[in-house]
Structure 1
Amino acid sequence: MIKKLFHRYFELIFWIAAIAALAFADPAGPAHFSLCPFKAVGFTWCPGCGLGHSISWLFHGNIANSWHAHWLGIPALGIILYRIYQLVRLKVFNKNALSAF
C-alpha cells in the first residue's frame, strides 16, 4: 500500500521535499556536496550551478543575492511551484491540470 502511494505521488513528494530543503537551507553557509557532473570532472563553470542557492536566497527574502547566484532562479522557482500546483490538481483532486487552458 505504501509502495503504491509512493509510486503514485513520487514526483509531487520529490518537488515538495526539494523546495522545503531549499527553504530551510542556509545559502550563506559553507559549501556543500555537489551532484554537478561538470564540477566532478573539473570544470569551473556550469550553466546550472547556483540555481539551488538562488532559490534558497529567494526563500530568505534576498532577491539581490538570488539574482547574483543565478539569474534563472526566480523563473525556476515559479516553474517548480506551478508544477507542484499541477500535480496537486491532477493527483490529489483527480482533475486534469491542463483543462484550465
Structure 2
Amino acid sequence: MIKKLFSKYFELVFWIAAMLSLALTSPQAESHFTLCPLKLMGITWCPGCGLGHAIIYLFHGDIPNSFHAHWLGIPAVLIIFHRIYVLGKDRLGYGHRFQNPRNPAS
C-alpha cells in the first residue's frame, strides 16, 4: 500500500518540494553544498550550473539576474510547472471528472 502510494505520487511531490525549496531560498545565500557531479569531480565548468540560482532569482522577481545566472531558468520553471500540472491532473483524477464511467470514450 505504501509502496503503491509512494510510486504514484513521488514525482509530483518531488517537483513541488523542489520548487518550494527554491522559492524559499534567499538569492544572497552562499552556496556551500552542491549536487553537481562535474563540480564534485573538480571540473569548473558545467552547462547546468547556475540554473538553481536562476530559478531562485526568478521566484524573487529579479528577472535580469535570473537570466544572467542561466538563460534556461525561465523555460525550466515553465516546463516544471507544466509537469506539476500534468502530474496533478493525472494523479489526482481531475482529468477524468466529466467522463462517463460506462462509456470511457465519451
TM-score, normalising length from structure 2? 0.84
Runs (4 or more) in structure 1 with deviation over 6 Å come to none
Partner of 2:4: 4
Partner of 1:64: 64
Which letter does structure 2 place at the counterpart of 1:13?
A: V
Distance 2:87 2:32 in 1: 30
The CA RMSD over aligned residues, in Å, is: 1.4
Distance 2:3 2:17 in 1: 18
Is there any run of 5+ residues in structure 1 with no aligned partner, and where? Answer: 97-101
SS at 1:25 equivalent: coil
Distance 1:21 1:2 in 2: 25
Q: How many correspondences in the alignment?
A: 96
Distance 1:60 1:32 in 2: 21
Which letter does structure 1 place at the counterpart of 2:14?
A: F
Whose Rg is larger? 2
Q: Offset of 1:75 from its aligned partner?
A: 0.2
Q: Offset of 1:28 from its aligned partner?
A: 1.3
Note the alpha carbon deviations across 1:10-57, whole angstroms, 9 max, x for none. Answer: 000000000000000112111131011110111111000111110010
Partner of 1:99: none
- Of all paired residues, the percent bearing the same amino acid is 60
**Structure 1 stretch 9-18 or stretch 85-94: which is displaced more?**
85-94
Is there any run of 5+ residues in structure 2 with no aligned partner, and where? Answer: 97-106
TM-score, normalising length from structure 1? 0.88
